[in-house]
Structure 1
Amino acid sequence: MKNNIPDIAQCIEHNIRQYFKDLDGETPCAVYDMVLNQVEKPLLACVMEECGGNQSKAAAMLGLNRNTLRKKLLQHGLLEA
Structure 2
Amino acid sequence: MTKNDPLSVCITHAMEKYFDDLNGQEPTNLHNFFINEVEKPFLEVVMQRVNGNQTRAADILGINRNTLRKKLKTYDLC
Coarse TM-score class (shorter-chain normalised): over 0.9
Q: CA deviation at 1:60?
A: 0.3
For the pair 1:7 / 2:22, whether they are aligned, the reply is no
State the Cα distance separating 1:5 from its structure 2 match. 1.3
* Post-superposition offset of 1:4: 6.2
| TM-score computed with the length of structure 2 as normaliser | 0.92
> Which amino acid is 1:14 matched to?
H
Residue 62 and residue 13 in structure 1: after superposition, are their counterparts in 2 closer, same or farther (change >3 A)? Answer: same
Matched residue, 2:57: 58
Letter in 2 for 1:6: D
Kindly report the root-mean-square deviation, in angstroms, between the aligned alpha carbons of the 2 structures. 1.3
Paired amino acid for 2:14: N
Give the superposition deviation at 1:77. 1.0
TM-score, with length taken from structure 1: 0.89
Which letter does structure 2 place at the counterpart of 1:52? N
> Which structure 1 residue ranges, 5 or more long, are not aligned?
none
Separation of aligned partners in 2, 1:32 and 1:4: 25
State percent identity of aligned pairs.
44
Alpha-carbon distance between aligned partners in 2 of 1:37 and 1:7, rounded to the nearest angstrom: 20
Question: For 1:11 and 1:52, how far apart are their aligned partners in 2?
Answer: 26
Write the distance in 1 (CA, Å) between the matches of 2:43 and 2:3.
25
